[in-house]
């Protein structure tokens, strides 16, 4: 396949999975937005974590809530657990990488907060451990996964929300995750401010 066709195929595949996923994911995304909005209204905060491209998604999410998405409004309480390299390196060095988010969830998370846990495979130990810590501290969990949800699918509890992209390829799953992040930001603005974009 020549390069132009190859690139065209990426666009086609990405568009196709988004169209397919929209039908099944709109419900859980709306539920997650309501959960997050209720948390913010109750003075809670949103914590987000992920590895690699999903770390970027966690940061993107927090940036649009603390900064803004599409309309002017006050900053909202959200933090990505991927950004403090001193915490990340100290915890990874002293306790192991699997604890880098778990430790922060235990330190910063309070009952009623929401953890947005992002993993395309659903199997990353650091994300699994973060979810366990969230459960221990009575946080709500919104899990953004793919590939059937992996280990994460097996540890979610009643009341948690699972947004599982029905795809196998990491890049395609990440593309739907980014769209989901934007849907969440838009829905939170809409619920809090009655915004009609």
Ligand X SMILES: O=C(CO)[C@@H](O)[C@H](O)[C@H](O)[C@H](O)COP(=O)(O)O
Residues of this chain that interact with ligand X (CB under 6 A) are 51-54, 119-121, 124, 127, 170-171, 174
CB of 5 vs ligand X, minimal distance in Å: 21
State the binding partner of 125 from Zn ion, ligand X, none, CB within 5 to 8 A by kind.
Answer: none
Backbone angles phi and psi of 104, in degrees to 5 = -70, -40
From residue 156, give the alpha-carbon distance in Å to each of 9, 133, 141, 168, 171. 35, 12, 8, 20, 24
**Letter string b/e over residues 37-71, b meaning 16 or more CB atoms within 10 A of that residue's CB:** bebbeeebbbbbbbbebbbbbbbbbbebbeeebee
Chain centroid to CA 84: 18
Helices of type H across 42-144: 53-66, 85-95, 102-108, 125-136
CB of 127 vs ligand X, minimal distance in Å: 6
Nearer to ligand X, 143 or 184 (CB): 143
Query: Torsion over CA of 156, 158, 160 and 165, rounded to 10 degrees?
Result: 60
- Helix, strand, or coil (residue 114): strand
Site size toward Zn ion, by CB under 5 A: 2
Nearer to ligand X, 54 or 180 (CB): 54
Annotation-wise, does 174 bind a ligand?
Answer: yes
Q: Which residues are CB-contacts of 171 (< 8 A; sequence separation ≥ 6)?
A: 10
- Helix, strand, or coil (residue 138): coil
State the binding partner of 124 from Zn ion, ligand X, none, CB within 5 to 8 A by kind.
Answer: ligand X
Asked if 49 contacts 115 with a C-beta cutoff of 8 angstroms, the reply is: yes
Nearer to Zn ion, 99 or 174 (CB): 174
Residue with smallest beta-carbon separation from Zn ion: 53
CB of 163 vs Zn ion, minimal distance in Å: 18
State the binding partner of 99 from ligand X, Zn ion, none, CB within 5 to 8 A by kind.
Answer: none
Annotation-wise, does 123 bind a ligand?
Answer: no
Which residues, numbered 56-95, are part of the site for Zn ion (CB under 5 A)? none
Is 53 among the residues that bind Zn ion (CB under 5 A)? yes
Candidates 4-12, 32-40, 53-61, 160-168: pick the segment binding Zn ion (CB under 5 A). Answer: 53-61
Contact pattern for Zn ion over residues 154 through 183, marking x by CB under 5 A: --------------------x---------
Q: Which residues bind Zn ion (CB under 5 A)?
A: 53, 174
């Amino acid at each position: 396949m020549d390069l132009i066709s190859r690139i065209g195929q990426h666009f086609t595949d990405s568009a196709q999975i988004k169209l397919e996923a929209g039908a099944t994911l709109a419900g859980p995304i709306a539920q997650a937005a309501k959960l997050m909005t209720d948390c913010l209204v109750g003075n809670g905060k949103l914590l987000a974590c992920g590895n690699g491209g999903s770390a970027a998604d966690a940061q993107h999410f927090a940036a649009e809530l603390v900064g803004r998405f599409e309309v002017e409004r006050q900053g909202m309480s959200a933090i990505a657990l991927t950004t403090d390299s001193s915490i990340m390196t100290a915890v990874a060095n002293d306790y192991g990488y699997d604890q880098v988010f778990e430790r922060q969830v235990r330190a910063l998370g309070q009952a009623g907060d929401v953890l947005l846990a992002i993993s395309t495979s659903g199997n990353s130990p650091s994300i699994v451990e973060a979810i366990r810590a969230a459960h221990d501290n009575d946080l709500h969990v919104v899990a953004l996964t793919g590939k059937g949800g992996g280990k994460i699918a097996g540890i979610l509890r009643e009341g948690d929300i699972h947004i599982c992209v029905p795809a196998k390829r990491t890049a395609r799953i990440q593309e739907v995750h980014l769209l989901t992040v934007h849907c969440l930001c838009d829905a939170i603005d809409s619920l809090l401010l009655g915004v009609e974009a």
